[in-house]
C-alpha cells in the first residue's frame, strides 16, 4: 500500500499561492519558525501540508514510509500544526497551558490566529516535539 501524501508534490511557492490571503502572514511566520527550529527547509507534502525534516516509520503490519518530522497546514478556518510526538509528554502538556487559545487532537494543534497565542511557548512545544521524535526515530 502506497501512502497518497508524498513530499514535493507541488512547490512551496505554488502551495502559498493557494492559501487564503488572511493566512499568508501566519504561514510565512510559521515557515520561519519551523525552519529555525528544525534547520530544515520547508517541503510541501500533498497539496497543502508544509513539512520540515522527516522520519522513517515501520508498523508491525510491515507497512513503512516517510513522514514529516513536524509541520503545519494553513487551513481556511484554523492553522493545523503537526506535533508528531503527540501531547502525552508532561512538559508539552504544561506548555500548552501557557500557549493561549488553541485546541488539540491526537497529534494536531489547532490555532485560529497566531496573534491569539504566545509564539515563544509555541517554539518550545515544537522544539520539544522534534527532540522527542528524533529520539524515537533516529536517523538511519
- If one counts every other C-beta atom within 10 angstroms of the C-beta of residue 140, the result is 5
Q: What single DSSP character describes residue 69?
A: E
Residue 54 and residue 79: Cα distance in Å, rounded?
Answer: 20
Quickly tell me which residue has 507497512 as its cell.
63
Yes or no: domain 12-136 corresponds to CATH 3.90.1150: yes
More confident position, 65 or 130: 130
Residues 57 and 65 sit within 8 Å (Cβ to Cβ): yes
The model's pLDDT over 4-43, given as tens digits with 9 standing for 90+, comes to 666 776 889 999 998 988 899 999 999 999 999 999 999 9
Q: What is the pLDDT of residues 31-84, one digit of tens each?
A: 999 999 999 999 999 888 999 999 888 778 887 788 899 999 999 889 999 999
Alpha carbon of 99 to those of 35, 64, 94, 129: distances in Å? 20, 34, 9, 15
Query: Measured between alpha carbons, how far is 90 from 78 in angstroms, rounded to an integer?
Result: 25
pLDDT at residue number 56: 86
Among 2-6, 80-84, 103-107, 133-137, name the one with the lowest average pLDDT: 2-6
Judge contact between 26 and 16, C-beta under 8 A: no
Q: Where are the domains of the chain?
A: 12-136
Amino acid at each position: 500500500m502506497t501512502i497518497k501524501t508524498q513530499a514535493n508534490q507541488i512547490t512551496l511557492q505554488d502551495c502559498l499561492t493557494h492559501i487564503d490571503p488572511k493566512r499568508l502572514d501566519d504561514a510565512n511566520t510559521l515557515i520561519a519558525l519551523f525552519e529555525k527550529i528544525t534547520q530544515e527547509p520547508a517541503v510541501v507534502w500533498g497539496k497543502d501540508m508544509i513539512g520540515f525534516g522527516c522520519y522513517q516509520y515501520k508498523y508491525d503490519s510491515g507497512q513503512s514510509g516517510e513522514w514529516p518530522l513536524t509541520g503545519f497546514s494553513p487551513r481556511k478556518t484554523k492553522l493545523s500544526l503537526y506535533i508528531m510526538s503527540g501531547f502525552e509528554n508532561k512538559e508539552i502538556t504544561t506548555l500548552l497551558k501557557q500557549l493561549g487559545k488553541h485546541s488539540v487532537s491526537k497529534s494536531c494543534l489547532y490555532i485560529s490566529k497566531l496573534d491569539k497565542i504566545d509564539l515563544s511557548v509555541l517554539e518550545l512545544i515544537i522544539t520539544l516535539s522534534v527532540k522527542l521524535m528524533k529520539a524515537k526515530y533516529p536517523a538511519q
